[in-house]
Amino acid sequence: FDLSVYGANIRIYADLQRLSKPAADGSNSAVISPIPVHSDIAARVSTTRETVARVLGDLSRREIVIREKDRLIVTDTDLLAEMIEE
């Protein structure tokens, strides 16, 4: 579907969903590796690097995304999908 009509946060959520690969343990989590550069996400979804940093910070505070050394863990892929559909 066309994401251009949605707010920047929704476009960022959708980009993270697109980049993520299901976790090997069969859980409802997913992995994004390597960690994407904020400016690359911003360019893909037509927003600013600062907005990407703010949205990722919010997802991290809510423990929806956890940063590890060289990867991001999406802890609940169903919740992320629901956030995109809102």
Q: What pLDDT digit, counting tens, does each position of 47-86 carry?
A: 999 999 999 999 999 999 999 999 999 999 999 999 998 7
Looking at the structure of the chain, the number of domains it has is: 1
- CATH code (residue 33): 1.10.10.10
Which domain, by its residues, includes 73?
A: 3-85
Per the listing, tokens 């703010």 go with 54
For 3, list phi and psi in degrees, rounded to 5. Answer: -85, -10
Q: How many CB atoms lie within 10 A of CB 34?
A: 9
Q: Is the pTM of this model over 0.95?
A: no
